[in-house]
């Protein structure tokens, strides 16, 4: 039977949060951010297995957390690499042949909904590749490099066709495996997974994400996260 697999990268050091512990272990509400994220996928009827990427030094800690929170769909805990792309590459190597669809979702985006997960899987079944994204709300400026006299605006970029890429990003397994193999061969580095598929000419569709689907990266994001959680628990 073909499986739908979720890869959750959680192998970053999280240095932008300050402090010496990775941001994903910080609690929002009662549970660590990463656990909140994993729970959405663990409880989704659309997901068959989860592959979790861990900092190499935290594998035992991860296994303890998985047990504590009864996250039974996590079938593999894989060591992360130097950068996110290296981590995902390790997870793809650990994928077995029965996976037909792969979703990649950052461990630090706990507010993802099962509705978006389902819409992405539907889009992949129809088109092969799709990501969650939201329209840009602010005015976007292209600027110069910083010089002694500061940073200058080069141009205002029309925003009507600009969207912010989020995760999950979902693909037919063969497409993402092929895109990562191509990137490795040609030395392509991307800041998301879709860009590696774009590089081999795959048409990647957009599914409406959510402005609540924030990536918790810096201390002020934690304040937003607590607010979203509070609003949801009402
Ligand atoms: O670095 P960035 O904030 O884009 O990280 C997004 C996600 O990728 C985080 O969940 C982080 O733990 C993960 N990551 C990883 N391996 C790395 C770097 C980041 O799994 N080497």
Cα–Cα distance measured from residue 73 to residue 80, given in angstroms and rounded to the nearest whole number = 19
pLDDT at position 18, please? 63
Cα–Cα distance measured from residue 196 to residue 174, given in angstroms and rounded to the nearest whole number = 13
Residue corresponding to tokens 């950068």: 83
CA distances (Å), 138 to each of 41, 124, 178, in order?
31, 30, 35
Helix, coil or strand: residue 136? coil
| CB within 8 Å of 112: residues ≥ 6 apart | 37, 40, 105, 132, 167, 168, 210, 213
Cα–Cα distance measured from residue 150 to residue 137, given in angstroms and rounded to the nearest whole number = 25
Q: What is the mean pLDDT of each run of 10 residues along the chain (234 residues)?
A: 95 72 87 97 98 97 97 98 97 97 98 98 98 98 96 97 98 98 98 98 98 94 94 88
> Which DSSP category does 19 fall into?
S
pLDDT at position 124, please? 98
Cα–Cα distance measured from residue 76 to residue 94, given in angstroms and rounded to the nearest whole number = 8
Q: Is the CB of 84 under 6 A from ligand 1?
A: yes
Q: Distance from the CA of 10 to the center of ligand 1, in angstroms?
A: 6
In the structure encoding, which two tokens stand for residue 113, read together? Answer: 């909904």
Q: Is the CB of 55 under 6 A from ligand 1?
A: no
Q: Is the CB of 191 under 6 A from ligand 1?
A: no
Cα–Cα distance measured from residue 23 to residue 158, given in angstroms and rounded to the nearest whole number = 34
Residue corresponding to tokens 């389902």: 118
Cα–Cα distance measured from residue 220 to residue 210, given in angstroms and rounded to the nearest whole number = 19
Q: Distance from the CA of 48 to the center of ligand 1, in angstroms?
A: 23
> Which DSSP category does 147 fall into?
B
């Amino acid at each position: 039977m073909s499986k739908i697999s979720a890869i959750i990268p959680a192998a970053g050091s999280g240095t932008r949060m300050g402090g010496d512990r990775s941001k994903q272990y910080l609690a929002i509400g009662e549970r660590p951010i990463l656990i909140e994220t994993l729970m959405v996928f663990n409880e989704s009827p659309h997901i068959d297995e989860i592959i979790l990427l861990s900092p190499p030094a935290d594998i035992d800690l991860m296994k303890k957390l998985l047990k504590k929170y009864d996250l039974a769909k996590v079938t593999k805990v894989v060591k992360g690499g130097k950068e996110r792309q290296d981590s995902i590459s390790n997870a793809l190597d650990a994928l077995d042949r029965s996976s037909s669809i792969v979703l990649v979702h950052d461990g630090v985006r706990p507010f993802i909904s099962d509705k978006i997960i389902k819409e992405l899987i539907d889009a992949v079944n129809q088109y092969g590749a799709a990501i969650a994204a939201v329209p840009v709300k602010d005015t976007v400026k292209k600027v110069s490099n910083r010089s002694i006299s500061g940073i200058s605006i080069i141009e205002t970029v029309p925003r009507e066709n600009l969207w912010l890429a989020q995760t999950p990003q979902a693909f037919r397994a063969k497409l993402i495996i092929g895109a990562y193999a191509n990137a490795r061969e040609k030395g392509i580095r991307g800041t998301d997974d879709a860009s590696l598929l774009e590089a081999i000419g795959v048409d990647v569709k957009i599914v409406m994400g959510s402005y609540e689907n924030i990536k918790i990266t810096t201390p002020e994001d934690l304040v937003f996260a607590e607010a979203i959680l509070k609003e949801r628990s009402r």
